[in-house]
Structure 1
């Protein structure tokens, strides 16, 4: 027997999704035009969502997302929970590519490992859950810097004190900004021995339907084993894993 769904709940989420497409506010007229509701029903849904804290009235007749949703989102993406959800995907990535993999979140200018799968090969790199890495010299960090808000990125860059970890570390703001922009455009980022000599990494973002980055996935290992063919294979596998992660986190309806 097919599961019976509550249409009112579905309609409420349809309204909330209108605000996940680059739109800051929504009105009853928007709901009527885009969702086909009548004006009275649209108004009632908006007022109910406002009363529950999911929406906040930005101006007369227009609403923005409320902080109740931010609170729920923070709880849903709590480090331990996120790591648990992503761990099986990392295990598959490492099994396929035969190199270590990792998932991170971004906190105060650092990337934090929330899950990782270790390679069984004799020469491997050990990163542990909870480890924090610098953003400017890591593949994960570049990807995060490409997706945080312009204001947050400016705050990070203006206070950054570059340290040359290796001879390959980027130590110029202009060069780092170019790398960040390139990472955003191509959808993946490299670390070619920039934090540790002889270590290569490639990372991709996990995005919501609205384009917000919620995690980063990477493959990494000794440069001596990671050639161009390995990197190309890693890009495809990591992007597939990121799509799977979005499906696990948000379901089919929000990733199509």
Structure 2
């Protein structure tokens, strides 16, 4: 599989990943230092990305993200039928519970936010569309991992380090596998400070008629607000929301494994 990958494309996206809210500009020196390549190669990558519109030069040797990326982002938004379907459902969940909610997909071993409803309350968690989160320490991620085939899950465990994000992160493979089996049996996943201490979340899957998971939705917020009682109410509301989403996407009743596609 690795032989089918293009290293230059991977490197180009690694350069784009260097841009953050705190870093709006990069230089060849920054790229060389962060990615471990020489300055000449870094400069060539930057000029190539400028040529295709992914970057713009704001001064000699200094680059910012270009408008080609804005255009591509707009196309993703316009074509995101799943996100469009889920957004009003998330808005309803957040109004009912009073806490933030989000929907995700699973991509490149990480959870990616595709829709999000803000709670408008203080001490909210900073998540936005496009945010990527580790799978092993999030409610969404544990749902996705619980759905992987055995070989896929084994590959994940062999390639993704289980770094300790908080005192509550599961970093033992056997313990994580036990947790995923528990998630699989109960049909939902919870996170109690595993990614960030003091933050709780609960997530449920959205399934096709054949029972394949296509997205997950959650409620999340500070632990002192997401009490056990609120988590129980959130779970009930999320399950109803998942059923609403499944009916909107596929019609009829709740999808069941073994039914037609």
User: Which interval holds the TM-score relative to the shorter structure?
Assistant: 0.5 to 0.7
Q: 2:243, 2:254 within 8 Å by CA — same for their partners in 1? A: no
CA deviation after TM superposition for structure 1 residue 151, in Å:
2.1
2:158 corresponds in structure 1 to: 158
- What does residue 93 of structure 2 align with? 93
Deviations, residues 98-136 of structure 1 (Å, cap 9, x unaligned): 000000000121000000000022221120000100000
Matches within 5 A, 1:165-244: 165-244=165-244
Q: TM-score, normalized by length of structure 1?
A: 0.67
**Stretches of 4+ aligned residues off by more than 6 angstroms:** none
Task: Give the C-alpha shift of residue 79 in structure 1.
Answer: 7.2
Contact map agreement 1:104 1:216 (CA 8 A) in 2: yes
* Distance in structure 2 (CA, Å) of the matches to 1:244 and 1:170: 32
Which structure 1 residue ranges, 5 or more long, are not aligned? 1-77
In 1, the alpha carbon distance for the partners of 2:171 and 2:79 equals 30
Q: Which residue of 1 aligns with 2:142?
A: 142
Q: 1:209 to 1:175 in 2, by over 3 A?
A: same
SS of residue in 2 equivalent to 1:252: coil
TM-score, with normalisation over the residues of structure 2?
0.66
Checking the alignment, whether the CA contact within 8 Å between 2:140 and 2:189 is kept in structure 1 is yes
Q: Deviations over 1:185-235 (max 9, x none)?
A: 001101110111111000000011211000000000001111110011011
Residues 211 and 255 of structure 2 are in contact (CA less than 8 Å); yes or no, is this contact kept in structure 1? no
Matched positions, count: 181
Unaligned 5+ residue runs, structure 2?
Answer: 1-77, 257-261
